[in-house]
Amino acid sequence: MIQIDIKQMLSAFSLALDIAENQPMEHAQRTAYIALKIGKQLGLPKQEMQEVYIAALLHDVGVTNSKIDAHVDNNQLMSHCFMGRDIATSLPFISEKIGENIAWHHANWDGSGVFERRGHEIPLGAQIIYLADKIDIQLGNLATMYSKRVTILDYIRENSGTFFNPDIVGCFLEVQDREKFWLDYSNGDIMEVTNDLSFSTMGFDMQHMEVLALAFAKIIDNKSPFTYYHSQGVAELVSGLGKYYSFDMETIQSLKISGLLHDLGKLSVPNDILDKPGPLTPIEYQIIKGHSYYTKRILSKVTGFENIKEWAGNHHEALNGKGYPEGLGGDRLSIQDRIVAIGDIYQALTEERPYRIKPIAQSKVFEILDDQAQNNRICKNVLISLKKMVG
For 278-304, the pLDDT digits (tens) are 888 999 999 999 999 999 999 998 888
Instruction: Examine the domain organization and report whether 187 and 226 are in the same domain.
Output: no
For 239-256, the pLDDT digits (tens) are 999 999 999 999 999 999
Instruction: Examine the domain organization and report whether 256 and 338 are in the same domain.
Output: yes
DSSP structure class, residue 202? E
Q: Which residue has the higher pLDDT, 208 or 126?
A: 126
Average pLDDT over residues 215-229: 76
The pLDDT score that the predictor gives to residue 5 is: 72
Instruction: Examine the domain organization and report whether 24 and 59 are in the same domain.
Output: yes
For 121-156, the pLDDT digits (tens) are 999 999 999 999 999 988 876 667 778 888 999 999
The pLDDT score that the predictor gives to residue 35 is: 95
Q: 107-127 as b/e, with b when 16 or more CB fall inside 10 Å?
A: bbbeeebebebeeeebbbbbb
Given a cut of 90, whether residue 197 has pLDDT beyond it is no
Strands 2-4 and 202-204: antiparallel
Instruction: Examine the domain organization and report whether 99 and 64 are in the same domain.
Output: yes
Number of domains in the chain: 2
Q: How confident is the model at residue 238 (pLDDT cuts 50, 70, 90)?
A: very high
Given a cut of 60, whether residue 180 has pLDDT beyond it is yes
Instruction: Examine the domain organization and report whether 75 and 163 are in the same domain.
Output: yes
In angstroms, what CA-CA distances link 305 with 170, 247, 297, 298? 41, 18, 11, 10
Given a cut of 50, whether residue 72 has pLDDT beyond it is yes
Residue 198 lies in a domain: no
Q: Which of 193, 228, 260 is the last residue of a domain?
A: 193
Residue 201 lies in a domain: no
Instruction: Examine the domain organization and report whether 33 and 156 are in the same domain.
Output: yes
Beta strands in the chain (DSSP E): 2-4, 202-204
Given a cut of 60, whether residue 24 has pLDDT beyond it is yes
Average pLDDT over residues 64-73: 55
The pLDDT score that the predictor gives to residue 360 is: 85
Range with the largest mean pLDDT of 68-77, 87-96, 221-230, 295-304 = 295-304
Instruction: Examine the domain organization and report whether 146 and 217 are in the same domain.
Output: no
* Cβ neighbours for 162, distance < 8 A, ≥ 6 positions apart: 108, 109, 110, 112
Reduced to 3 states (helix: H, G, I; strand: E, B; else coil), residue 370 is helix
Residue 246 lies in a domain: yes
Rounded Cα distance, 205 and 343, in Å? 25
Residue 199 lies in a domain: no
3-state secondary structure 40-72: HHHCCCHHHHHHHHHHHHCCCCCCCCCCCCCCC
Instruction: Examine the domain organization and report whether 336 and 311 are in the same domain.
Output: yes
Instruction: Examine the domain organization and report whether 25 and 123 are in the same domain.
Output: yes
Instruction: Examine the domain organization and report whether 96 and 217 are in the same domain.
Output: no
The pLDDT score that the predictor gives to residue 66 is: 47
Instruction: Examine the domain organization and report whether 290 and 168 are in the same domain.
Output: no
Residue 245 lies in a domain: yes
The pLDDT score that the predictor gives to residue 278 is: 83
Residue 248 lies in a domain: yes
The pLDDT score that the predictor gives to residue 70 is: 56
Rounded Cα distance, 78 and 110, in Å? 17
Looking at residue 184, its amino acid is D
**What mean pLDDT, rounded, does the chain reach?**
87
Average pLDDT over residues 171-176: 96
Residue 200 lies in a domain: no
Domain harbouring 366, CATH code? 1.10.3210.10
The pLDDT score that the predictor gives to residue 308 is: 96
Given a cut of 70, whether residue 388 has pLDDT beyond it is yes
Instruction: Examine the domain organization and report whether 163 and 256 are in the same domain.
Output: no
Instruction: Provide DSSP, 235-266.
Output: HHHHHHHHHHTT--HHHHHHHHHHHHHTTGGG
Q: How confident is the model at residue 357 (pLDDT cuts 50, 70, 90)?
A: low
Average pLDDT over residues 360-383: 95
Q: Which of 193, 223, 244 is the last residue of a domain?
A: 193
Q: Which residue has the higher pLDDT, 332 or 268?
A: 332
The pLDDT score that the predictor gives to residue 286 is: 93
Q: Which of 160, 193, 226 is the last residue of a domain?
A: 193
Rounded Cα distance, 326 and 322, in Å? 9
State percent of the chain over pLDDT 90.
Answer: 55
Domain span including residue 218: 206-390
Residue 311 lies in a domain: yes
Q: Which residue has the higher pLDDT, 66 or 121?
A: 121
Average pLDDT over residues 85-102: 90
Average pLDDT over residues 338-359: 84
* Helix pair angle (96-103, 124-139), 10° resolution: 50
State percent of the chain over pLDDT 70.
Answer: 87
Q: How confident is the model at residue 217 (pLDDT cuts 50, 70, 90)?
A: confident
Average pLDDT over residues 171-180: 93
